Every structure is written in C-alpha cells, then in structure tokens.
Amino acid sequence: MEEKLSNILAGISGEYYVAAELSRRGFITTLTLKNTKGVDILASDEDAKKTIAIQVKTTKGKKNEWLLSEKSENFVSSNHFYIFVRLNNLGEAPTFFIVPSKDVSKHVIKSHRDWLNSFAKDGSPHKDGSMRKFRDLKAEYKDRWDLLK
C-alpha cells in the first residue's frame, strides 16, 4: 500500500527536486523564504551573468493539472519561469515541465475565460474566483531545461 503524501510535503519535494536538477545542470540555486511572492527558487549561472526566478508547482500521481492564483495572469518577466513538477509513484523519477511565465499567463487567461464561458454540470454559469488551473501541458515543455539558459 502506498503512503499518502500531504500537499505541503509534495510542494516541498517539488522545490527540492527542481533545486537539485538545476544544481546538476550548473546553476547556483537558493530556495526563497515562503514570504517571497511568486518566486520559490532563485538561480544563477556559475558566472553570475544570468539570474532567473522560478515558481515551482507540484502535483502528485498522473495528473497534469496544477492550481495557480489569479496573479499568474500578470506576473510576467523574461527571467521568470514556472517549473511544473509531477511527482510520479515512489521509485519513479518526477516529470518536469519548464514554461516561461509569458506562456503561463497566456494559457491561464485563455483557459479561465473559456471556463467562465461554459456552464457547470447543473447548467448554471461558473462564478469567477481567484484560482486558476494550468493543465494539458504540451510535450514542447517537458524537460526543456534549455529554456533557462
């Protein structure tokens, strides 16, 4: 029987997996304090010529769906990236999707607008809220660590 991992521990695991993978790829990384809005990891190349900010989002199992806040629609910068982590079953390596923040913003705006224009199962209109979903990641983002260089 597989043990249940809490969402908090899953999130922390995702951040450490990303930090380890970045370090393995030649980045100097630091995890930020939890009061840093929109940035979980700061990473720099070894020459300190390029610094990037990373927001890590983690899910468990086989789902390709992550929750984001409304601010992801406008939190865009050329050096800000999201790394979506899917923690697979124990003993399996996690899956990483590296996505520039501008692409996340476009996807979240469009998918939320489409959702608002659809109806709930009972036929009533959806009500707007502050949460957004990022899903259906394309293979073009899988293991795209090169986007960070």
Domain count, the chain: 1
Q: Show the domain range for 140.
A: 7-148
CATH number at residue 49: 3.40.1350
Q: pTM for the complete prediction?
A: 0.89
3-state helix, strand, coil in the chain (%, to 5): 30, 30, 40
Tell me if 82 is assigned to some domain.
yes
Domain assignment present for residue 62? The answer is: yes
Is residue 1 situated within a structural domain? no
Tens of pLDDT along the chain (149 residues) come to 356 889 899 999 999 999 999 999 999 999 998 777 889 999 999 999 999 999 999 999 887 889 998 889 888 999 999 999 999 888 899 999 999 999 999 999 988 888 888 888 998 988 888 889 888 677 889 999 999 98
Q: Is residue 2 part of a domain?
A: no
Task: Identify whether 96 is part of a domain.
Answer: yes
Tell me phi and psi for residue 48, to 5 degrees: 60, 30
